Amino acid sequence: MAASLRCFLRSGKRAVLVAVRRGIHSSSPAAVQVTVRDALNQAMDEELERDERVFLLGEEVAQYDGAYKVSRGLWKKYGDKRIIDTPISEMGFTGIAVGAAMAGLRPICEFMTFNFSMQAIDQVINSAAKTYYMSAGLQAVPIVFRGPNGSSAGVAAQHSQCFAAWYAHCPGLKVVSPWNSEDARGLLKAAIRDDNPVVFLENELMYGVPFEVSDESLSKDFTIPIGKAKVERQGSHITLVSHSRFVGHCLDAAAVLAKEGVDCEVINLRTIRPLDVECIEGSVMKTNHLVTVEGGWPQFGVGAEICARIMEGPAFNFLDAPVTRVTGVDIPMPYAKILEENSIPQVKDIIFSVKKTLNV
């Protein structure tokens, strides 16, 4: 079933979809489930087809089908010219990708994980992000840097860092962090179509997770605007703001808290930079309480920025309590399972923080 779903989704034939829908219920549509991996794969496939200038490069993206199989089937379909396996040379191939973007192509540069992007971070910041400004608009850099970010499972300290705060610090970059399949699809298509450098932070643990996606999102021109957050759950007592995998944790926490009479509003940031402050402010002005949840370290992080922005804006006067940040523990990621589990926010940590903030 999954294979046939993948088949018709990839070919974009919606007729079969309609048939499935009619076949099962005449009243309600069957849910189309797509994993985050497949959503990313389809988005890239469609954009490669749509625009000849788009190409993918990175380690193992072609013949291996992608280290995490995100680019499965693309090399077979598009060949060596459009899907390029690189040697293990991050600084070199990232620079090559940026140069290709400067010369008019639209590269997707994959980092096997964002930890390895540190080797190439000069090319991302100094060659990509700053160039449009330095050239006073003469030289654009339409490039997407994508790959898994943040903690995984048992990969230890050098492979578990979250780079959202590092990249979001820099003007000239757009930084995007999808949570579910619809986010992944819409934001990746938007990122590829954007004429600017976009850092696209995926999450390895989310790749295999299936989500229901709307019919609308399956259209080849479906994009999600970069810079707009989404309210995933409406609520009135407290606002939870998160990005990537922890949006799911927030929703789980909200479900538990609902049974205890605490009504949480959950915001999925979708984009880290530019931050959708208005969405957060609007929510805080309604709920009067705010908890931020992220996987990254606390100091100088996403939550820290949200706190500062709330203080500087109209929502501050609506706060009944200081903003609470729920973050990863301020240590390099340990290996042992029990240690790793206790290094990142768990649902119970979010529940605890909500109750403390609400003083219940």
Partner 1 sequence: MLTNISNVLRTCAQRNGAAAVVSARTYSDFTTQATFEIKKCDVFKLDEAPATQVVMTRDEGLQYYRTMQTMRRMELKADQLYKQKIIRGFCHLYDGQEACAVGIEASINLKDHLITAYRAHGYTLTRGGTVKEIMAELTGRRGGIAKGKGGSMHMYCKNFYGGNGIVGAQVPLGAGVALACKYKGTDELCVCLYGDGAANQGQIFETYNMAALWKLPLIFICENNRYGMGTSVERAAASTDYFKRGEFIPGLRVDGMDILCVREATRFAADHCRSGKGPILMELQTYRYHGHSMSDPGVSYRTREEIQEVRSKSDPISLLKDRLLSNNMASVEELKEIDVEVRKEIEDAAQFATTDPEPPLDELCNHIFSNSPPVEVRGTNPWTKLKSLS
- Supply the residues annotated as catalytic: 90, 159
Cα(124)–Cα(120) distance, integer angstroms: 7
- Using rule CB under 8 A, residue 23 touches partner 1: no
Choice between 89 and 158, CB closer to partner 1: 89
- Using rule CB under 8 A, residue 330 touches partner 1: no
- Using rule CB under 8 A, residue 86 touches partner 1: yes
- Using rule CB under 8 A, residue 172 touches partner 1: yes
Residues with Cβ within 8 Å of residue 219, at least 6 apart in sequence: none
Contact by Cβ (8 Å): 264, 314: no
CB atoms within 10 A of CB 197: 29
Q: Under rule CB under 8 A, which residues in 334-353 are in contact with partner 1?
A: none
The residue within the footprint of partner 1, chosen from 41, 55, 146, 176 (CB under 8 A), is 55
Cα(98)–Cα(132) distance, integer angstroms: 12
Q: Under rule CB under 8 A, which residues in 184-203 are in contact with partner 1?
A: 194-196
Q: How many residues bind partner 1 (CB under 8 A)?
A: 46
The one-letter code for the residue type at 355 is: K
Q: How far is the CB of 96 from partner 1 (least distance, A)?
A: 4
- Using rule CB under 8 A, residue 136 touches partner 1: yes
Segment (H or E) for 340: helix 337-341
Choice between 144 and 247, CB closer to partner 1: 144
The residue within the footprint of partner 1, chosen from 16, 20, 140, 329 (CB under 8 A), is 140
The CA-atom distances, in angstroms, between 285 and each of 14, 49, 335 are 42, 44, 41
- Using rule CB under 8 A, residue 118 touches partner 1: no
Binding mask 220-259 for partner 1 (x = CB under 8 A): ----------------------------------------
Cα(6)–Cα(38) distance, integer angstroms: 8
- What per-residue string of b and e applies to 275-296 under the rule 16 or more CB within 10 Å gives b? bbbebbbbbbbebbbbbbbbbb
Q: What is the DSSP string of 19-80?
A: HHHHHH-SSSPPPEEEEHHHHHHHHHHHHHHH-TTEEEEETTSSTT--TTSTTTTHHHHHHH
The residue within the footprint of partner 1, chosen from 101, 164, 188, 269 (CB under 8 A), is 101
- Using rule CB under 8 A, residue 138 touches partner 1: yes
Binding mask 66-85 for partner 1 (x = CB under 8 A): ---------------x--x-
Which tokens is 177 given? 């962090």
- Using the contact rule CB under 8 A, the part of the chain among 20-28, 87-95, 234-242, 285-293 near partner 1 is 87-95
How many Å separate Cα 200 from the centre of its chain? 6
Choice between 95 and 235, CB closer to partner 1: 95
Q: How far is the CB of 133 from partner 1 (least distance, A)?
A: 5
Contact by Cβ (8 Å): 41, 74: yes
- Using the contact rule CB under 8 A, the part of the chain among 35-43, 92-100, 158-166, 199-207 near partner 1 is 92-100
- Using rule CB under 8 A, residue 142 touches partner 1: yes
Contact by Cβ (8 Å): 151, 202: no
The residue within the footprint of partner 1, chosen from 11, 139, 214, 219 (CB under 8 A), is 139
Cα(168)–Cα(97) distance, integer angstroms: 20
Residues that bind partner 1 (CB under 8 A): 55, 81, 84, 86-87, 89, 91-105, 122-123, 126-127, 131-142, 171-172, 174, 194-196, 274, 312-313
